[in-house]
């Protein structure tokens, strides 16, 4: 009887571990993530993914309520993985409450999520994109600097480093597209003081990335409402800096778009 009960408890535990996804969390250590798949995706079939980091005081559940973001990611044949900061924030170097951080805790969390999603859902680790909004955009920049080989590319949205770029970044650089509103007041292009530190300047982050990636001269381009400066390098990587008029609006039924405030 004891063996039978043990087997039942083990089966229940395994079932509970697998029963995570868009509306329930996938535990990883003391943290978690959530994942959403395109309609018609066959369970167990390999799939690429976009790992999205929420803004300050955000949550993975809030990301999963953003229908526009999910549709955009799914339309590109990717799963959406919603990451979860501790208490709705991220442990990043030079931040207001994390000034002396190395970012190691966040890097370890991302590595653990990637490993878990690959084992649990057959997520293809060669087809991963890191992205995020505001504070999540800051996470994305730090990943691009310190973990460029973990992702095929990076898309920081309205976020950059705290205070200044790191003293050094890992190479070779990967492809990166930075998107920002030209009148953003929450994360201005030139940053703003917060709690004894400040948000860094986007131009400084881009200048460092141009150098470490050996990106060539910028070419102007338009993509809908986006005004972009595009660069390439000999490896075939791209670096794009795209502005839109206004600031970010990010809600449950929208993806970041221009607004009047």
Domain boundaries, the chain: 2-244
CATH 3.40.50.1820 assigned to 2-244: yes
Give the pLDDT score at 19: 75
Is cis: bond before 49, omega within 30 of 0?
A: no
- The Cα angle at residue 135 between residues 149 and 162, in degrees rounded to 5: 80
Q: What is the pTM of this model?
A: 0.89
Give the pLDDT score at 201: 98
Give the pLDDT score at 247: 84
Give the pLDDT score at 58: 96
**CA–CA separation, 14 vs 193, rounded Å?**
48
Give the pLDDT score at 9: 33
| Beta-carbon count within 10 A of 210 CB | 18
Give the pLDDT score at 249: 62
Q: Report the interhelical angle of 135-146 vs 104-121 (nearest 10°).
A: 90
In sequence order, the β-bridge partners of residue 229 are 220, 241
Q: Kindly give the parts of the chain with pLDDT less than 70.
A: 1-18, 248-261
E strand segments, the chain:
26-28, 31-36, 47-53, 79-83, 123-133, 153-157, 175-181, 193-194, 197-198, 219-223, 226-232, 238-244
What are the distances in angstroms from CA 82 to CA 10, 165, 190, 233?
Answer: 28, 25, 28, 31
């Amino acid at each position: 009887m004891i063996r039978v009960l043990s087997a039942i408890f083990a089966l229940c535990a395994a079932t509970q571990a697998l029963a995570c996804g868009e509306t329930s969390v996938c535990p990883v250590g003391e943290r978690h993530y959530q994942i959403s798949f395109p309609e018609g995706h066959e369970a167990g079939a390999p799939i690429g993914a976009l790992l999205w980091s929420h803004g300050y005081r955000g949550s993975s559940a809030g990301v999963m309520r953003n229908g526009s973001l999910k549709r955009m990611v799914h339309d590109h044949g990717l799963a959406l993985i919603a990451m979860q900061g501790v208490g709705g924030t991220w442990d990043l170097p030079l931040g207001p409450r994390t000034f002396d951080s190395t970012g190691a805790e966040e890097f370890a969390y991302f590595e653990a999520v990637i490993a878990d999603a690959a084992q649990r859902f057959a997520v293809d680790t060669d087809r991963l994109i890191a992205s995020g909004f505001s504070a999540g955009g800051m996470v994305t920049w730090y990943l691009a600097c310190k973990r460029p080989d973990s992702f095929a590319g990076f898309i920081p949205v309205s976020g950059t480093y705290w205070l200044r770029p790191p003293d050094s970044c890992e190479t070779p650089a990967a492809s990166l597209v930075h998107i920002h509103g030209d009148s953003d007041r929450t994360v201005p292009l030139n940053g703003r003081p917060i709690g004894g530190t400040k948000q860094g300047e986007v131009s400084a982050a881009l200048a460092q990335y141009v150098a470490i990636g050996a990106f060539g001269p910028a070419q102007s381009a338009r993509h809908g409402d986006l005004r972009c400066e595009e660069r390439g390098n000999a490896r075939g990587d791209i670096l794009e800096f795209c502005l839109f008029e206004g600031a970010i609006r990010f809600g449950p039924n929208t993806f970041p778009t221009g607004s009047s405030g």
